[in-house]
Amino acid sequence: MYIDTHAHLDDEQFRHEPVEELLKRAGEKNVRYIIAPAVGTESAAKLMEIAEQFPNVYFAAGIHAHDALSFFEKEYVTLKKMLAHPKAVAVGEVGLDYFYNFSPRSMQIHVLRRFVRLSLITGKPLILHCRDAEQDLYDILKEENGKLTGVIHCFSGNEEWAKRFLDLGFYLGFTGAVTFKNSEHTRNVVATVPSDRILTETDAPYMTPAPFRKIKPNEPAFIPVIADKIAEVKGIDSVEAAGIFVENAEKCFNIKLS
């Protein structure tokens, strides 16, 4: 049994295909559960509807770093209400992106701090986006002295940053990047991360694993490819690894799946 802890089921790339088809293909590959993070209020509303319709789908509510500049108090209030939903398992996707800088860094930090506080208020873990912003993200999380939980999604930092975020109590999420030929650094990081702190993600429809790159968008059905590659790097049995990754998700998001 597998879990995809980060799939954007409401993404524009999936607009021509019913969610049912994505979930059907995932089920055929034994991907039993999916967590779908929002990138804004409209996204969260759509994902909440999907989660209400399908028992094996959960959702998260937040504002992506790219859209921090368009953040207003009404969005915060709306998302806070959504997080009271029984299928809402995390605050996210939120974080910092200093690679694209679609929103000013100062605004990204301001918005992230609001959602860090919301994580503490609601008791929901964080799903964190981080690109070229490890130091600022680490400093913000460390301010809360171990009170925060969650995952650094699609982790792209080095071994030292992995250790520092792990020491704060966070999980690290790995995507199809672990299969890329030019991502030896990602595999090196995976090798150093304890198996019980790893989450499997597609980041669908992005980060398609190597066998399917340039063929089609990423989707939850590809999780076994990612999980098996992580197991290979860790030197553990693939079936055992899949079970570990599901248990990790249960602990990270405080949900009972199996």
Chain-wide mean pLDDT for the chain? 97
Peptide bond into 205 cis (omega under 30): yes
Tell me the average pLDDT across 116-140: 98
Q: Which residues lie below 8 Å from residue 234, measured CB to CB, with a gap of 6+?
A: 190, 191, 195, 241
C-beta separation of 90 from 126 below 8 A: yes
Beta bridge partners of 127: 151
Q: Is the pTM of this model over 0.95?
A: yes
Confidence class for position 215, pLDDT limits 50, 70, 90: confident
C-beta separation of 169 from 144 below 8 A: no
3-state secondary structure of 91: strand
Closest residue by Cα to residue 29 from 4, 54, 7: 4
Peptide bond into 201 cis (omega under 30): no
pLDDT tens digits for range 130-188:
999 999 999 999 999 999 999 999 999 999 999 999 999 999 999 999 999 999 999 99
The verdict on domain 2-253 having CATH code 3.30.310.160 is no
Residue 70 is classified by DSSP as G
Per-domain residue ranges of the chain: 2-253
CA 228/CA 2 separation, integer angstroms: 10
Q: At how many degrees (to 10) do helices 238-253 and 223-234 cross?
A: 110
CA 175/CA 179 separation, integer angstroms: 8
C-beta separation of 164 from 136 below 8 A: no
Burial label for 46, CB within 10 Å (0-12, 13-18, 19+), is middle
Would you tell me how many other CB atoms lie within 10 Å of the CB of residue 221? 22
Q: Which residue has the tokens 């030896």?
A: 184
Please give the pLDDT value at position 116: 98
C-beta separation of 32 from 257 below 8 A: yes
